[in-house]
A = this chain, B = another copy of it.
Amino acid sequence: MIRFDSDYIEGCIPEILEALQNTNEEQTIGYGVDPHCENARALIRKAVGRADADVHFLVGGTQANITVITSVLKHYQGAVCAVTGHINEHETGALEACGHKCLTIQSDNGTLTAQQVDQLIYDHYHGSAVEHTVQPGLVYISFPTELGTLYSRKQLEDLYAVCRKNNIPLFIDGARLGYALASDKNDMTMQDIANNCDMFYIGGTKVGALFGEAVVITNPAYKKDFRYNIKQRGGMLAKGRLLGIQFEQLFTDDRYMKVSRHCMDMAKKLADGFASRGYSFAFEAETNQLFPILPDKKAEELAKEFAFTPWGRVDENHQIFRFVTSFMTKPESVDRLIEML
């Protein structure tokens, strides 16, 4: 069985295992204030071009999302997001369990437009019952989105301008940030991301690490006391250095982007393979998550050899499926899959 069902099916880049080995007997203080974490912070600050940023390391995405969002919101505020947003759909109500509503916006491709967000905020303050409804307190987007799609620089700048106009912070979930940046459809750098939001996270779990997400807070208004939130939400890793060591390796020698580019090469090859066989996509094939529409028969055939995920029925004989490449996907696996299409 060759797996294309997610980008968290393998381990990590070899340099991380090597570093874990080399540091194993080191004694360091716990909870993320050791030299490895400090060094990783410095490397990330440099990579994102913001010497002023606060950087915190968390274990996983849901944890990163609730920790960041609850650090920003007042009790009566909610998070504006696409109806397809990860916080709305696939975190078992983790944010609601912390007391906050997702204020959802319909979206065909997983992105939000500046105009939609501006309208939602306007409507809130101009409704007949303002304080009877949840106040928008933060805008959450994913880059790339849960449907593998991208924002252009212009779209992100417009969205962030609306956020600043309305005095509401913008948070970018970058669980797969590397794949967005490495896409040939992308026109942004990591610095552009850092400069067009108030906080974001750089996903490690799906991009080269065993686990780990690096939260980057650029807006000083949201830096204070952040570590209390980490501890309260269960995210304060005792051996915090495990995260520092991993991000040290990922942000040395441009490895984060190198493995991202490999993944995107595999994704592009696979997307071309689907296209060349005449299959269309439910959403634009812009990153490492591909959503081809396949006949049931073909899918059954492929399922004998490959793992991938059904994503909704199109008609009696066709479904959308999700195929995902990762930083460790082998070219021969993609070749074999294309051969079978």
Q: Which residues of A contact B (CB under 8 A)?
A: 1-3, 5-6, 8-12, 14, 17, 20-21, 23-30, 59-63, 66-67, 70-71, 74-76, 78, 89-94, 96-102, 128-129, 131-135, 205-206, 210-211, 225, 227-239, 242, 307, 309-311, 328
Q: Chain B residues with Cβ under 8 A from A94's Cβ?
A: 231-234
Q: Is the CB of B238 within 8 A of A8?
A: yes
Q: Chain B residues with Cβ under 8 A from A8's Cβ?
A: 30, 238-239
How many Å lie between the Cα of A233 and that of B261 in the bound state? 33
Q: Chain B residues with Cβ under 8 A from A236's Cβ?
A: 60, 62, 131-132
How many Å lie between the Cα of A233 and that of B230 in the bound state? 12
In the assembled complex, the CB of A71 is this many whole angstroms from the nearest CB of chain B, namely: 7
Q: Is the CB of A237 within 8 A of B59?
A: yes
Within the complex, which residue of B10, B76, B89, B90 is in contact with A26, where a contact is CB–CB below 8 Å?
B10
| Given A60-B236, A60-B238, A75-B232, 20 extra CB contacts under 8 A | A3-B28, A3-B29, A9-B30, A10-B25, A11-B23, A21-B21, A61-B238, A63-B235, A67-B234, A76-B228, A76-B231, A90-B129, A91-B232, A93-B101, A98-B99, A101-B101, A131-B230, A131-B231, A132-B231, A132-B236
Q: Chain B residues with Cβ under 8 A from A128's Cβ?
A: 309-311
Within the complex, which residue of B29, B66, B228 is in contact with A135, where a contact is CB–CB below 8 Å?
B228
Q: Is the CB of A210 within 8 A of B234?
A: no
Q: Decide: A132 near B238, CB < 8 A? Known: A17-B24, A23-B11, A76-B228.
A: no
Overall SS of chain A's interface: loop
Q: Chain B residues with Cβ under 8 A from A231's Cβ?
A: 62, 76, 91-92, 94, 131-132
Q: Is the CB of A93 within 8 A of B78?
A: yes
Q: Is the CB of A76 within 8 A of B92?
A: yes
Q: Chain B residues with Cβ under 8 A from A28's Cβ?
A: 3, 9
How many Å lie between the Cα of A131 and that of B25 in the bound state? 27
How many Å lie between the Cα of A59 and that of B240 in the bound state? 12
Give 3 nearest A-B pairs by CB, closest first.
Answer: A11-B24, A63-B234, A76-B228
Q: Which of A17, A75, A328 has the most CB of B within 10 A?
A: A75
Q: Is the CB of A17 within 8 A of B11?
A: no
Q: Chain B residues with Cβ under 8 A from A12's Cβ?
A: 24
List the B residue with the shortest CB-CB distance to A329. B27
Q: Is the CB of A11 within 8 A of B30?
A: no
Q: Is the CB of B62 within 8 A of A59?
A: no
